[in-house]
């Protein structure tokens, strides 16, 4: 599969797209005022310990206090031990490894308010929640992730060959300093021992530098809070983590970023230097590769399937749902074939949309009910196969009898929609506005109510033009009754502030003495 990395750099924003066979599969966006803190290591101060929730809040200098879960606490009285670590807790391709070790003591016996600790950010702030942090530190490299405080070695589950896993284990284990561990990343597959050794030496030196900062006396003005280590800039981090032999081109439209990438590739991936290209064309680089169109489509609620069916994507605070519909597709022979083909297309499209929109958390997929167990099993196997291309960790339950698939996808940052969209002032985030019929009848009731309460006969109505037209056209008799039988003098005034009027109501009724 031919892959391309397309990098667009502007003074206020960085955007990176991964193309597979010229189709956009992943997009990352980072704004200067919202730079990612995932992977950064901070010295922080415990601000609150909650034994009842087995967690603590820590001030690290970010906008919100960070959240530290009990399993992510490193007990200083318990020496690191490989026997405490289950290899399955290491998540492949996770740059900030959540070791999830069970605490040996209650949380209030390990932490107290005002305590200074060193932590690493695992997840970005999401919604109203602060960043998720851990005291188990990790330093990512190209081929390895160094675990400076845990004596353990893990190998990416994506490396399936037992012979290759054995080779990597035998290559890395003798090089490890005492009481340190590593995770061997997927990119290490087939890489020489010399290259892996060089990567490990680089990470060990980086840790030694960081360790000196940790042990240095605190600056009295810092209040015990400060950044100790920052991960690479987005464009370098993506090349480090996403580059593979299938990448045929790395295109960047910034001369400064091009120079940084060129030096970075010379130092870490010299064979990839020839694939780096500076975009000089007057046509914007995202327009040249039609990425802007795909980006716009990634925000649509409705996603069309090749046969004519479609998906409806709804994202809430707690979960995201995909509803599969046959739409215009009526099939050719029978209903079973129509349903099965639509479901197979939907399985592929859902997997694509999860990556493209960077949707994480709980996900529900409502496939059309399969008519046979055989179709259900084939669909489930196909969906699992499509998910194998996803870098993020997923956990999928089998298809229920109702055709529902429940799954989770690892979330470390906001989805693309949450990054680029905001709540609609028309509908206040509901996705719907009241019908004209509803507003029209409510408007006439409001006129009667205000007239009876005040006893006034002169009524002014400020409303949207389409609502005024509907009332005059469809409620002509009711309007005439108010004017003739109750003696009201009603004056309509079209409102020019349509957006403001819709925030609470489409009209405003007042009276004159």
- Cα distances (angstroms) measured from residue 152 to each of 72, 87, 160, 164, 176: 16, 8, 20, 18, 10
Helix (H, G, I), strand (E, B), or coil: what is residue 342? helix
Q: Which residues contact 293 (CB under 8 A, 6 or more apart)?
A: none
Would you state the pLDDT for residue 432? 76
Q: Is the dihedral of CA 333, 335, 340, 342 positive or negative?
A: positive
Which one has a higher pLDDT value, 344 or 149? Answer: 344
Residue count (the chain): 513
Helix (H, G, I), strand (E, B), or coil: what is residue 382? helix
- Exposed, middle or buried, 2 (CB in 10 Å: 0-12/13-18/19+)? exposed
Lowest mean pLDDT among 218-232, 421-435, 459-473: 421-435
Residue 497 confidence (pLDDT) above 70: no
- Exposed, middle or buried, 8 (CB in 10 Å: 0-12/13-18/19+)? buried
Would you state the pLDDT for residue 412? 74
User: For residues 24 and 300, what is the distance between their CA atoms, to the nearest angstrom?
Assistant: 15
Lowest mean pLDDT among 19-23, 312-316, 482-486: 482-486
Residue 100 confidence (pLDDT) above 50: no
Q: Which of 125, 114, 121 is nearest to 64 (CA)?
A: 125
Q: Which of 294, 332, 323, 326 is nearest to 308 (CA)?
A: 326
User: For residues 97 and 422, what is the distance between their CA atoms, to the nearest angstrom?
Assistant: 31
pLDDT (mean) for 449-465: 87
Return the number of other C-beta atoms located less than 10 Å from residue 254's C-beta: 19
Residue 95 confidence (pLDDT) above 50: no
Q: Which of 221, 216, 262 is nearest to 239 (CA)?
A: 262
Would you state the pLDDT for residue 208? 92
Q: Is residue 92 very low, low, confident or very high in pLDDT (cuts 50, 70, 90)? A: very low
CATH 3.40.1260.20 fits 436-512, yes or no: yes
Residue 486 confidence (pLDDT) above 90: no
Is-contact 510 460, C-beta < 8 A? yes
Q: Per residue in 40-75, pLDDT tens?
A: 999 999 999 999 988 999 999 888 899 998 888 877
CA distance from start to end of the chain = 76
Q: Is the dihedral of CA 448, 453, 455, 456 positive or negative?
A: negative
Q: Checking DSSP bridges between strand 153-155 and strand 394-396, what pairing results, if any?
A: unpaired
Is-contact 235 13, C-beta < 8 A? no
Q: Per residue in 278-320, pLDDT tens?
A: 999 999 999 999 999 888 888 899 999 998 889 999 988 789 9
Q: What is the mean pLDDT of the chain?
A: 85
Residue 34 confidence (pLDDT) above 90: no
User: For residues 25 and 28, what is the distance between their CA atoms, to the nearest angstrom?
Assistant: 10
Is-contact 133 68, C-beta < 8 A? yes
Say which CATH topology domain 41-230 has. OB fold (Dihydrolipoamide Acetyltransferase, E2P) (2.40.50)
Residue 504 confidence (pLDDT) above 70: no
Q: Per residue in 103-138, pLDDT tens?
A: 568 888 889 999 999 999 988 887 778 899 999 899
DSSP notation for 437-482 = HHHHHHHHHHHHHHHHHH---EEEEEE-HHHHHHHHHHSHHHHHHH
**Rounded to two decimals, what is the model's pTM?**
0.80
Domain boundaries, the chain: 3-34+235-293, 41-230, 301-413, 436-512
pLDDT (mean) for 160-184: 90
User: For residues 36 and 330, what is the distance between their CA atoms, to the nearest angstrom?
Assistant: 46
Residue 149 confidence (pLDDT) above 90: no
Q: Which of 61, 28, 27 is nearest to 47 (CA)?
A: 61
Q: Which of 238, 5, 36 is nearest to 142 (CA)?
A: 238
CATH 3.30.420.40 fits 3-34+235-293, yes or no: yes
Sort residue 231 into left (φ over 0), alpha (ψ -120 to 50) or beta: beta
DSSP structure class, residue 91: P
DSSP structure class, residue 423: -
Residue 354 confidence (pLDDT) above 90: yes
């Amino acid at each position: 599969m031919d892959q391309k990395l397309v990098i667009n750099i502007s003074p206020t924003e960085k955007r990176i797209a991964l193309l597979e066979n010229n189709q956009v599969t992943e997009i990352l966006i980072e704004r200067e005022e919202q730079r990612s803190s995932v992977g950064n290591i901070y010295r922080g101060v415990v601000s609150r310990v909650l034994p009842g929730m087995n967690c603590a809040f820590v001030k690290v200098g970010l906008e919100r206090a960070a959240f530290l879960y009990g399993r992510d606490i490193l007990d200083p009285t318990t020496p690191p031990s490989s026997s405490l670590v289950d290899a399955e807790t290491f998540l492949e391709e996770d740059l900030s490894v959540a070791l999830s070790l069970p605490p040996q003591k209650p949380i209030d016996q390990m932490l107290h308010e005002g305590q200074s600790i060193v932590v690493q950010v695992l997840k970005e702030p999401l919604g109203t929640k602060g960043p998720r942090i851990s005291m188990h530190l990790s330093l990512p490299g190209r081929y390895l992730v160094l675990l400076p405080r845990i004596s353990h070695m893990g190998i990416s589950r994506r490396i399936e060959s037992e012979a290759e896993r054995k080779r990597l284990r035998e290559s890395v284990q003798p090089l490890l300093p005492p009481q340190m561990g590593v995770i061997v990343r997927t990119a290490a597959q087939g890489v020489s021992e010399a290259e892996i050794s060089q990567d490990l030496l680089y990470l060990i030196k980086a840790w030694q530098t960081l360790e000196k900062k940790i042990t240095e006396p605190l600056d009295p003005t810092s209040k015990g809070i400060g950044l100790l280590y920052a991960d690479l800039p987005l464009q370098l981090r993506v090349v480090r983590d996403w580059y593979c032999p299938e990448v045929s081109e790395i295109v960047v439209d910034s001369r400064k970023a091009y120079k940084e990438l060129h030096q970075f590739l010379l130092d870490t991936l010299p064979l990839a230097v020839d694939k780096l290209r500076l975009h000089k064309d007057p046509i914007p680089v995202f327009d040249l590769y039609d990425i802007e169109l795909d980006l716009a489509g990634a925000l649509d609620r409705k996603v069309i399937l090749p046969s004519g069916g479609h998906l409806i994507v709804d994202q809430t605070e707690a979960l995201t749902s995909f509803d599969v519909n046959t739409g215009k597709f009526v099939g050719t022979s029978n209903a079973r074939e129509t349903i099965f083909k639509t479901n197979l297309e939907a399985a592929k499209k859902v997997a694509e949309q999860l990556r493209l929109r960077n949707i994480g958390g709980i996900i529900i997929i409502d496939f059309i009910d399969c008519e046979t167990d055989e179709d259900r099993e084939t669909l489930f196997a196909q969906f699992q196969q499509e998910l194998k291309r996803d870098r993020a960790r997923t956990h999928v339950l089998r298809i229920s009898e109702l055709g529902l698939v429940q799954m989770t996808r690892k979330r470390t940052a906001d989805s693309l929609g949450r990054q680029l969209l905001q709540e609609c002032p028309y509908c206040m985030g509901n996705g719907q506005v009241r019908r004209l019929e509803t507003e029209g009848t409510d408007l006439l009731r409001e006129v009667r109510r205000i007239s009876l309460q005040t006893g006034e006969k002169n009524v002014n109505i400020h409303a949207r033009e389409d609502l005024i037209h509907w009332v005059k056209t469809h409620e002509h008799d009711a309007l005439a009754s108010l004017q003739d039988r109750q003696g009201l003098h009603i004056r309509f005034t079209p409102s020019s502030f349509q957006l403001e009027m819709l925030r609470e109501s489409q009209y405003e009724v007042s009276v004159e003495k």
